[in-house]
Every structure is written in structure tokens, then in C-alpha cells.
Amino acid sequence: MARRTVRLGRLVGAPGARGRGSALGRSGKAGKAGAAGKQPKVVALGGGMGLSASLTALRRITGDLTAVVTVADDGGSSGRLRDELGVLPPGDLRKALAALCGDDDWGRTWAEVIQHRFESRGDLHDHAVGNLLIVALWEQLGDHVQALDLVGKLLGAHGRVLPMSAVPLELRALVRGHDPELPGELSTVCGQATVALTPGEVRRVELVPADPPAVPEAVNAVLDADWVVLGPGSWFSSVIPHLLVPELAQALTDTKARKVLSLNLAPQPGETAGFSPQRHLEVLTRHAPKLTLDVVLADQAAVPDQDSLREAAKRFAATVELAPVAAPGGLPRHDPELLAAAYDRIFRMHGRIGPWR
């Protein structure tokens, strides 16, 4: 594939002033946090709606924000584009870009546009506009990172979005009791969409190809960060896969950044059904025994046994911070303002790597 070099500002035009590196002032809260031009460099790892929740909160408190996104999705529009064109699945990347859009008219409009799905009786049915835009730029530019930077520039994104690997990945899970008639038998379940809804108990996940290469910009972002945020999100299909990319896992060990793990508000049907908060930590250390953390963030109402969670966090050398981060209503989802307040408090209380405060 031919590679073209594009000057982002010239191609996008006037809205380019809203792009990465100029987030301050577009959001009152982000502007206040970095009023002196000194703000934390934050990298958030994950995928899907969990990462979107983190990004929507984090862009309120820093303009120096990078999302590193899993690329193992094989369902829906992403899966169809992946199968037909052999590209990275764009869906989780699109969701991250939408989450980084601002709260002004420009940001809200573009967030809605790229999330819009076609409804038809033909091949375009259920394709998201943003997926098609991202894939078109990949084909035009021949560079995943440059294309995503360009989309972010167009949207006025409050940060940068990077894939964790430049090759499409398959997620495979070892599941106990996948067949209800054989509750003790271990089975291999393939595909992120299938793993996310699998019956039985997920014991372990792996990536195919094994030991995939990381995107260098993602590794550098982790090494250069002040804070790394992992989670919330689908535990086995969005959070843990980052720890299975050797270069990313090593960067998480080598970085001087402090690390916060944001726990989910409730177990996910299928993937983590019946999991306690501390069980989430147990499976994390099973996949990444060298991982250390500084803070484990959880909603107090979602932690029935605080002592057990604190004991599990000690295995990572981490403390537990309990904060009200859930939105009111029936569905378990994070409130962006409450989550932003919790992150900001953690960043202030747990030490400062650089001169950003």
C-alpha cells in the first residue's frame, strides 16, 4: 500500500485548530486543570464503552490525553470491514474518538456523525459512518496512526487515539463449562464478540497471533506518561488484551508513570458473571504477574467487602480509593463528572511525576 504524507492542518482547514495539542480552553474543566500549560500526561488503555467512559471523564481534567485501544473486535460493522478488507477493526477506535469530542456544538455534532449507523436493506446496513471514514483514510494514507490523527483533527478531539497493535488480533478464551451439559470441561472459545457473551467461566485469554507487535507510538506514550489508566471495561476482551502485547506489557513495567485501575460497577453477563471486585484483580494478576499498580478505583456501592478488595490490591502494591462514580438510574454506568472528579483527586493526592500541578 502506498504511503502518503499529509500536513494535517492544511488538509483539514480551519477546524484543525481544535485538534490535539490545543484542548485547553475548549472545555472549561480541562482548561482550568492546565491553566498554566502544565497538565498531566495521561494514557488510557481499554476498548468499547468502558474506555469511552474513562476518556469522557479524563478530557475534562487534561488536554494531554492518549487512548490506546484494543483491536480484536470481530463483530458488527467492524467485523464485516475486517473480514472484507483485511483492516484493523475500527469500531473501538471510533468510539474513543467520539468520547474525545468536546461538549460544544462542533464536538457534539461530529460525535453524532461518526456514531451514526446506516439503516437499509443492503450492504450498508448497520455500518457506522466513523468506521467507513477511518478505513477510507487508512487506505488513502497507508498509515494507521496518521489517519487516526487526521480524524481526531477533524473532530476537534481532546486527545489522541492509537491502536495497541497494527495487526488485527483474534481473542481466544479458555472457558470452563461453556457447554452447560459439561460444567467441568474446558473449551476454547474464539472471537471477541463470542468471548464477551460466553456462558461458563473464562479462565484465561490469549491473542492470535501470539506476541503481536505494539504500535511504537503507543509504547512511547506509556513510557512518557505521568499517569496510566486501565479500565473500566469488558475485563477479558477489552482490559486484559493490552497486557498480552509484550511491548506494551514491558512498557507498563518500565514506565515511571503512576497507574490507576478503574473497576467496573457490576459484573458483565457472560464474561465476568458472578465476579466480585477482588476476583477481577485475581484474574488480572494471573495474566500479568509482573504488573504493579498505584491505585485501584471503585464505586463504594459496588464493593460489598472492602477488606477483601484492599487485600487483593496489595498484590499489586496498590491502595484502594472508593468514590461515588456511578450515574443515577437502573443501568450500571459511570457518570462523567463524578469519574472526572475521582481521577482528578487521585492525580492530586498520589504524587506528581512532573511539574504539571
Is residue 203 packed enough to be buried (19+ CB in 10 Å), middle (13-18) or exposed (0-12)?
A: middle
Interval 298-334: pLDDT, tens = 999 999 999 999 999 999 999 999 999 999 887 889 9
Q: Which of 255, 201, 204 is nearest to 41 (CA)?
A: 255
Q: Which of 247-251, 265-269, 301-305 has the lowest mean pLDDT?
A: 265-269
Q: Report whether 150 contacts 142 (CB < 8 A).
A: no
What does pTM read for this prediction? 0.87
Write a three-state SS string for 4-15. CCCCHHHHHCHH
Interval 79-103: pLDDT, tens = 788 888 999 999 999 999 999 998 8
Distance CA 67, CA 29 (A): 19
Q: Report whether 156 contacts 106 (CB < 8 A).
A: yes
The band of 27, judged by pLDDT with boundaries at 50, 70 and 90, is very low
